[in-house]
């Protein structure tokens, strides 16, 4: 009888521990997105405002103030936003465009800076363009080897003349997880690309979540014969 009571007690303890663990995991998964978002925004704010803080320290020293650090960061943020808005207004008029053009010509004379500047400008121009299908199509390609598939985004398509006939290729960006800002650019023949009938947002959720978040609709499957 004592053994039975002990066994039941162990079951109750195990059940309690299991419920406690499940409750903890539920709370963890509920708070994790908020915590990650907070740290991301904090990192972004620190990165944007960090270089202005020394100037506020100089102003404090000259005026004998003791401004709290969080207030300095907020002021720095608004200063940066103001600078960006002024730059936008400045570059819209003729005089501003001429100044920017002269600065670009000056930058292009510096070897290392020229390479970095031109690459960055080309990327920004591509993303700003409304005439291209940048990140408009989600595809599935065999990468990094045969039999293994990766989700990617078509960024460009081009035709290459080989042996007297034209072959169409897709330039595809393979995003890494969990950091979507890095990845690989590959060029794949058209007939080796499978177009996915899912939105770019759904694909990003799938990638960033390491495959946990699947498209909500079952109809969002492979579409074999759609052109990009």
Domains and CATH numbers, the chain: 138-223 (2.40.10)
Q: Which of 43, 94, 52, 91 is nearest to 73 (CA)?
A: 52
> Is residue 198 within 8 Å of 138, Cβ to Cβ?
yes
**Spatial separation of the C-alpha atoms in residues 115 and 99, rounded to whole Å:** 20
User: Which residues sit opposite 165 in a β-bridge?
Assistant: 162
- pLDDT at residue 141, rounded to an integer: 92
Q: What is the pLDDT along the chain (228 residues), one digit of tens a residue?
A: 444 556 666 666 777 778 888 888 888 888 888 888 888 878 877 777 777 778 888 888 888 788 787 788 888 888 888 888 888 888 888 887 888 888 888 887 887 777 777 777 776 665 565 444 567 788 999 998 888 999 999 888 776 656 666 778 888 989 887 666 678 889 988 889 998 888 888 888 888 777 777 765 534 444 443 444
β-bridge pairing 149-162 and 194-196: unpaired
> Is residue 186 within 8 Å of 152, Cβ to Cβ?
yes
- pLDDT at residue 161, rounded to an integer: 58
User: Which residues sit opposite 154 in a β-bridge?
Assistant: 172
**Spatial separation of the C-alpha atoms in residues 209 and 217, rounded to whole Å:** 17
Q: Which long-range contacts (CB under 8 A, 24 or more apart) does 189-195 make?
A: 190/157, 192/141, 192/142, 193/139, 193/140, 193/141, 193/154, 193/228, 194/139, 194/140, 194/141, 194/222, 194/223, 194/224, 195/137, 195/138, 195/139, 195/222, 195/223, 195/224, 195/226, 195/227, 195/228
pLDDT digit string, tens, across residues 148-206: 999 999 888 776 656 666 778 888 989 887 666 678 889 988 889 998 888 888 888 88
**Spatial separation of the C-alpha atoms in residues 102 and 108, rounded to whole Å:** 10
């Amino acid at each position: 009888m004592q053994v039975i009571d002990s066994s039941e007690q162990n079951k109750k303890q195990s059940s309690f521990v299991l419920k406690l663990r499940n409750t903890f995991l539920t709370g963890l998964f509920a708070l994790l997105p908020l915590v990650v978002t907070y740290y991301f925004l904090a990192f972004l704010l620190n990165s944007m405002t960090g270089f202005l803080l020394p100037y506020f320290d100089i102003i404090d020293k000259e005026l004998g103030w003791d401004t709290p650090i969080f207030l300095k960061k907020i002021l720095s943020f608004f200063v940066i936003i103001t600078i960006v808005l002024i730059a936008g207004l400045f570059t819209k008029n003729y005089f501003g465009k001429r100044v920017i053009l002269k600065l670009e010509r000056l930058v292009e004379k510096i070897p290392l800076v020229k390479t970095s500047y031109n690459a960055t400008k080309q990327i920004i121009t591509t993303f700003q363009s409304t005439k291209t299908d940048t990140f408009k199509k989600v595809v599935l390609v065999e990468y990094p080897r045969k039999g293994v598939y990766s989700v990617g985004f078509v960024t460009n398509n081009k035709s290459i003349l080989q042996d007297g006939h034209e072959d169409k290729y897709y330039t595809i960006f393979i995003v890494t997880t969990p950091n979507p800002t890095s990845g690989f650019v590959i060029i794949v023949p058209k007939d080796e690309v499978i177009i996915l009938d899912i939105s770019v947002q759904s694909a990003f959720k799938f990638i960033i979540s390491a495959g946990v978040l699947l498209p909500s609709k079952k109809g969002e499957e492979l579409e074999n014969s759609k052109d990009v």
